[in-house]
Every structure is written in structure tokens, then in C-alpha cells.
Structure 1
Amino acid sequence: MTTPFTTPSDVRQASRSGSFVQPTAGCAPGFIQANMMIVPQAQAFDFLLFCQRNPKSCPLVEVLAPGQQEPACAPGANIATDLPGYRVYRDGVFAEERSDIAALWQDDFVTFLIGCSFSFESAVMQAGIPLRHVDQGRNVAMYRTNLPCTPAGIFQGPTVVSMRPIKSRDVAKVVEVSGRFPLAHGTPLHVGNPQALGIQDLAHPDYGDAVDILPDEVPVFWACGVTPQAVAQASGLPLCITHAPGKMFITDIQG
């Protein structure tokens, strides 16, 4: 897949205008992409503790002050408008998907930016390892697992993973390359048998798009920043706002 967006500001401006609503895989290569979780200040400490206890799933890039919309990692950006898609959860139930959340903003909102595995993909491809969801212009496949997160306060629930088919001969290389990016979940959580993670059918991901796995490939699973969305549902969180799966905030941080 080719993208016209080579800089983070290009992606953010196109998202703000509503002209870009697609997954951000392949966009602005070399820059850190971030999952997003917004909670009211009353729940912010518990969620910060949750991230500290689950660093593989929730590597923190930045935590904004209550009510703040401009992150230090992207001066001039606006958290409420500059993602290609947002999801709103109320009482643990997915309520709606929106192109911006400016009308929903509250002065007590605390935004957490969490590293994303999209950030290591350009390095993986530069190492000569193709990624099928990028080549096909699809969202990465994501699955809820049977691996529980370490709870914190009201926050508890399952680990979510992203999956990429990798040729058997390239698995060691992809582990080494992704391991250079601790803010992007780092090395895989699991290689091979999906049933070991409680995943019954790779053809039916919980989030994103399924891709084929060829005979010379194995599924490789990374911890995923969509984990907070599954946790919001499992915890019955009264209100939170997240990125839509695969539609990240792109920072100005080079990774």
C-alpha cells in the first residue's frame, strides 16, 4: 500500500479535515504512532497504574494534563480532532464511532498516548520482511486472548494482540527488529499456535481485518494497544474515549 502522507502533520491535518478516515499503517514511516485512551480525571490514576503494571500492552508515550488537548509529542496538534477515528464507550458498552470528539470534550478528560506496533513496521519492511496488511491496504488483525492483564483499581480484562503472518525463516529477524522498539510493544508475546492464546479462528479477528496465512508462514502475535478498549468493556467503565482500532495518533517523535 502506498500513502500520500509522509509526515505526521500531513496525517493529522487530513484527519482533522475529515479527508482521511483510514487505518494509519504505512503512514509517516519512521514516526511513533500512538493508541489513545481518554478517561475522566476520577479514573486517571487507576489507569496510569494499570499502564505501569501492564507495560507490554500499554507502553506510555505521554500523559496529558486534565483538559489538555495539545500533546508535547506533537506541538500544534489537537487530540480531539487529529485521529482518523474515535470510539466512545459508556458503561462498558461501545456507544458510537466518530470522526472527532470536540463536541464531547470535558475539562476533566485525561489523555493517555500508548505506543503502537505500527511504529516498528517500517523498520521490519526495510529489513526485507513484507507485511501483508500493509501491502493489501487493510487494518491489522487483532484478537482478544485468554491472557489476563494485571488489574489496577477498576481496570481489569484480557490482553489484546495484533497478528502478522511472517515467513518461518524471518521470525528470528522480526523478533530482533521489533525488539528495538519498546514504545511499540517490543518483541512478540507469542509465535505460532493461536489456541495457546485462546484464539479459536484467525479468520475472524475481534478487531481489524483478517489476512491469509500461507503455508510457509507462522502467525506472530504482539501485545496491542487496543487492550484498553477490551478492558473498558470488561471493567464497565462509565465513560472513556479511545482511538478507533487501527486509526492512530501520529506523533512527531522519530522511532
Structure 2
Amino acid sequence: MKNTYLGNDDIRKLTYTGLMTAIVLLATLVIKIPVSFTNGYIHLGDSMVFLAAILLGWKYGAFAAGVGSALADVIGGYAHWAVPTLIIKALMAIIIGICASEKYRKKMYIILTIIFAGGFAVFNLILKNILTNKIILDSSNITSNLLTELELNSTEELINLSSRVETTLFVITILIPIIILVLSLLISKLNKIKFKPAYTFGFVISGTFMVFCYYIASYILTGNYIVPIFSIPLNMIQFIVGLVIAQLIVMGLNKSKLSIPLQCF
């Protein structure tokens, strides 16, 4: 007869996973800034999503990230986002966990780099086309409903906002990966600890994946493919702030030589 009792290792896994689920939940709820036109919000929870994946590995990290974030949506009054959040945050943790794993690293670096570079470039071209052709060049298609959803007073304001978003997307696409890499190397050098590019790589890939997925989810929920574009810069800021916080915590754990052997999960 098979022994159904939990061993010490199983209890340890469940304990850490439950703890990180609660931490993801709290980090998401503590500071949140509503984004009215998408009926969503930005928050600091991504930092703990990143950390959960690093500490727990992709399987248990996916549970902590997905369930913790989804519960935050339900408790915080955004239950309509719970299912997309559960899926997106879990997939973010899987990406990070796989990038941080020695077992999959070399092969996944190549695959994810191609997907990231090609996919995000295409995504940005599509967004640029929408902003340029549907709004900036053809303002006659702008409806009063669109202005209301974005809380703008005139077509001119919308065109100006569209131009700023288009510029922001371009700058983010070019500069953010460079800034993140330089910042990570600088922090590593100043603190005299080993820099692990796998973590930063995983953070960047999963963060941009999140931005893309939330755009699609917003389109499905709102039925509008233009309005969600204007939330992308905010989502980018959210994941960048989360990345920096998670990177600092991970580097701090490395510096303190704290041993948390959970990647074997």
C-alpha cells in the first residue's frame, strides 16, 4: 500500500509555496493605482511574482504567482481580471523559472530570445500602425465613446496622447533592456556579488510577455483594441519597477549567502 503521509520535504515545499502565495497577494494589494479606462490597476506585485519563480522554481512559482495575484484581484474588487491574471502571472513564473534553471538554460535562451525579439518587434509595429493610421492620420474615426473612456476632452488631446504613447513604446523597446542590464551590472559590481544574467533575462522576457498578454486580455474584456494600448506604458513601468525590486532582493540574498534550495522543486 502506498504511503500517503507527507514527508519533511513535501511539508517544506507546501510551506514555502503558501508563504510566497501570501506575499504575492499582499504585495499586489498594498499599493495599487487604478487605470479607469481598462477597469484594472498597476501595482508592486510583479516583484514578488519574479521572486517566487526564482525561489520556488517554475512549478511551485507558477502556483504562488498565479493564485496570489488572482486572489488579489478578487479581494481588491477586480474579480473580472482574476482568470486572465491567474494564467498570465503563472506563465510569467514559468518563463522565469525555466530561464533560471541550469537544466533548460542554454536551449531556452535561444528559443526565448528569438520569440522575444521577433514577437515584441511585430507587436510594436502593429501598435504603431493602429496609433498612426486609426488615430493620428484618420481622426474622423475617433468616436466620442473613445474620448470618454480615455477621459479626454477633444480629438486633439487624443492625437497628442497617441503620439506620446507611440514615442514611449519606441523608446522603451530600445532603451529598457539596455538600462536594465547596465543597472544590474552596476548593482552587482558595487555590492561585490556575482551577477546572474539568467535572472535578469527571465525578468525581461516575462515582463514583456505580461504586457502583451494584458493587452490581449484587455481587448477581450473591453471589445476595444485601441483603448488598451494606452495602458501599455503603465504596465511597462510596473514590470520594470518590479524587476528592479526583485533584482535587489535576489542580490541581497546572494550577498547574505542565505541558502534556500528550492529550485530543485
Task: State the TM-score, normalized to the length of structure 2.
Answer: 0.30
Greater share of strand:
1
- Greater relative CO, 1 or 2 (CA 8 Å, sep 6+): 1
More helix by share: 2
Q: TM-score, normalised by structure 1?
A: 0.31
Larger radius of gyration: 2
